[in-house]
Amino acid sequence: MTVINLPFPPSTNNLFVNGSKGRFPSQKYADWIQEAGWELTRQRPAKVLGPVVLFFHFQDNRKPKRPRDVTNLIKAPEDLLVKHGIIEADDHTIVRGVEAYWDDTVEGVRIVIMPANKETAA
């Protein structure tokens, strides 16, 4: 099991913007990638080879400005895990399951990576 703590990610809806030459990462996403990447480097988590199950615990802000969709928060940290080689890919051959929770004991997002087996991928 590998546990990683990262800053609260931007929503999938805010990762990219359209420009005259196509889509590109938003400034908010670029800033998060840099901050979260440094935090990931500081924690030095072990690489997890093969199929995995990911558990995301997102900081629960009980008084948000508007309702939030927890599943829109998964993409940025999942892509970061791939970019830094913590997991091999984020397709169905590697990520066999995903669970996402609101958690008032967490700051940002806590990611738990478990090797997939019959019990965790069921």
pLDDT tens digits, one per residue of 67-82: 788 999 999 999 999 9
For residue 111, what pLDDT band results from cuts at 50, 70 and 90?
A: very high
The pLDDT assigned to 117 comes to: 80
Check residue 33 and give left, alpha or beta (phi > 0: left; psi -120 to 50: alpha): alpha
Distance between CA 61 and CA 24 in Å, rounded? 29
Distance between CA 85 and CA 80 in Å, rounded? 8
Pick the range with the lowest mean pLDDT from 15-29, 32-46, 56-70: 56-70
pLDDT tens digits, one per residue of 94-108: 999 999 999 999 999
CA distances (Å), origin 60, targets 1, 12, 44, 103: 23, 17, 26, 5
pTM equals: 0.89
The pLDDT assigned to 109 comes to: 97
Q: What are phi and psi of 7, to 5 degrees?
A: -65, 155
